[in-house]
Amino acid sequence: MKIKVLLVFIIFCSAACSKSNKKIVRFDDYQPYFKATSLVSNNSLEEELKFWKDRLNKNTNDEASVLKLASLQAELFKTTGLVEHILTSDSLYLMALKNYPQGNVEIYHALAANAITQHRFQDAKQFAELALGLGDKKATSLLVMVDACLETGDYATANRTLRQFKNKNSFAYLIRKAKVKDHEGSLDSAIVCMEKAYERIKGNKTLSAWTLSNLADMYGHAGRIEDSYAKYLQVLKDNPNDDYALKGIAWIAFSHDHDA
């Protein structure tokens, strides 16, 4: 009888181990995305830059041109990674800010966004505080403050700031609440928040990709590896050049499937 029980136990353990060691990443799933070679074109951005530069050359006091050029330079940094673009953007925003002795909320928001992009999180927090001090566009200023606090690890202030939002079902609120919950160790609650956020913006390709990638990360942390893998593939289906999703799949192959 003992031998039978031992045999059943061994079979059960073998089955469990076999299930947990089952490879998830399949070559046929991701192979088509290795053929994705389309590059991001900056032609339209370059054309816009030329237009606004020419306009500014004709009138050096044209503030609209300065602000537009600052925005375009920040966009170019996102697609090229060349630091000169984000630095030029900062310089143009600061130039425009000189025309506002009392400050300008939208310029502060833009400078805060640039600071976060450059990992200058304390600077971003200061710009958010300046924007809040002006009182206009308070909701956006609060969001910027939450982002800066999350990046600096000031989760207490991030939580207090989030409590000021009236719309607890907006995408902007939910994604930030998810980050706070994740930090607090409430991973299941964080996932629920991120899933709700995704429901709000399904039709938006850019936001959907970002949200699905974050969900994939969270599913992975929760041990839901197959769900994580499925989300990364969903991102690649809409954007075959999404390197973050490819890296996510690579990590699953390496850490779960032990397939370097």
**Residue type for position 57:** N
Tell whether pTM > 0.95. no
pLDDT of residue 18: 43
pLDDT of residue 45: 86
pLDDT of residue 42: 79
Nearest to 222 by CA among 173, 177, 181: 181
pLDDT of residue 7: 46
pLDDT of residue 16: 43
pLDDT, tens digit (0-9, with 9 covering 90-100), for 124-171:
999 999 999 999 999 999 999 999 999 999 999 999 999 999 889 999
pLDDT of residue 20: 53
Token code pair at residue 156: 């207490």
Low-confidence ranges of the chain (pLDDT < 70): 1-21, 36-40
pLDDT of residue 35: 74
Token code pair at residue 64: 């609209």
pLDDT of residue 97: 97
pLDDT of residue 39: 60
pLDDT of residue 40: 63
pLDDT of residue 38: 57
Which residue in the block uniquely carries the two structure tokens 């629920």? 192
The angle that helices 63-80 and 43-58 make with each other, rounded to 10 degrees, is 150
In whole angstroms, what is the distance from residue 227 CA to residue 29 CA? 14
Question: How many C-beta atoms lie closer than 10 Å to residue 78's C-beta?
Answer: 12
pLDDT of residue 157: 93
Nearest to 147 by CA among 168, 169, 119, 170: 119
